[in-house]
Amino acid sequence: MALALLLQAWAALTGTARATPYLPAHGDDVIEVLPRRADATQTELRRLRLALNARPRDVALATALAQRYIAVGRDAADPRYLGYAQAALAPWWREAVAPPAVLLLRATLLQSGHHFPAALADLERLLAAEPANAQAWLTRATVQTVRGDYAGATASCARLSALANELATAACIASVGALTGRAQPSEQLLALTLQRGASAPPDQRLWAQTLLAELAAQRGDVAMADARYRDALALNPHDAYLLGAYADFLLDQGRPADVLALLKEYTRVDALLLRRALALRQMPGAAAALATDVAALAARFSAATERGDTVHQREQARFALYLQRDTASALALARQNWDVQKEAADMRIYLEAAAQAHDAAAARPVLDWIARHRTEGATLRALVHQLNPGA
- Each residue of 251-281: pLDDT tens digit? 999 999 999 999 999 988 899 999 999 999 9
| C-alpha torsion sign, points 255, 257, 259, 262 | negative
pLDDT at 27: 45
Half-sphere exposure of 60 (CA within 13 A, CB side): 1
- pLDDT digit string, tens, across residues 116-143: 999 999 999 999 999 999 999 999 999 9
Q: How confident is the model at residue 76 (pLDDT cuts 50, 70, 90)?
A: confident
Average pLDDT of the residues in 229-243: 95
Give the separation between CA 332 and CA 18, rounded to whole angstroms. 23
- pLDDT digit string, tens, across residues 326-341: 999 999 999 999 999 9
Contact 84, 68 (CB under 8 A): no
| Other CB atoms within 10 Å distance of the CB of residue 272 | 24
Contact 3, 111 (CB under 8 A): no
195 falls within a domain: no
**Which one, of 249, 195, 243, lies nearest residue 218 by Cα?**
249
Average pLDDT of the residues in 163-186: 96
85-93 — which CB contacts under 8 Å span 24+ positions?
Answer: 85/109, 88/52, 88/62, 88/63, 89/62, 89/63, 90/56, 91/56, 91/57, 91/62, 92/62
- Domain containing residue 75: CATH number: 1.25.40
159 falls within a domain: no
| 230-234, 253-257, 263-267, 367-371, range with the lowest pLDDT | 263-267
- Please identify, among 131, 154, 183, the residue that sits at the C-terminal boundary of a domain: 131
114 falls within a domain: yes
Instruction: State the burial class of residue 49 (Cβ atoms within 10 Å of its Cβ: 0-12, 13-18, 19+).
Output: middle
pLDDT at 252: 98
Give the separation between CA 335 and CA 351, rounded to whole angstroms. 10
| Element spanning 251, H or E | helix 240-252
Contact 276, 243 (CB under 8 A): no
DSSP state of 264: T
- The tally of domains found in the chain comes to 2
- Please identify, among 97, 114, 131, the residue that sits at the C-terminal boundary of a domain: 131
pTM of the model: 0.87
Q: How confident is the model at residue 306 (pLDDT cuts 50, 70, 90)?
A: confident
- Please identify, among 131, 160, 176, the residue that sits at the C-terminal boundary of a domain: 131
Q: 171: which residues sit within 8 A by CB, 6+ positions away? A: 2, 3, 6, 190, 193, 204, 207, 208, 211
247 falls within a domain: no
- pLDDT digit string, tens, across residues 103-121: 999 999 999 889 999 999 9
- pLDDT digit string, tens, across residues 15-68: 333 333 444 444 444 444 445 455 888 899 999 999 999 999 999 999 999 999
272 falls within a domain: no
Give the separation between CA 324 and CA 356, rounded to whole angstroms. 13
119 falls within a domain: yes
Contact 374, 180 (CB under 8 A): yes
Range of the structural domain that residue 321 is part of: 310-390
218 falls within a domain: no
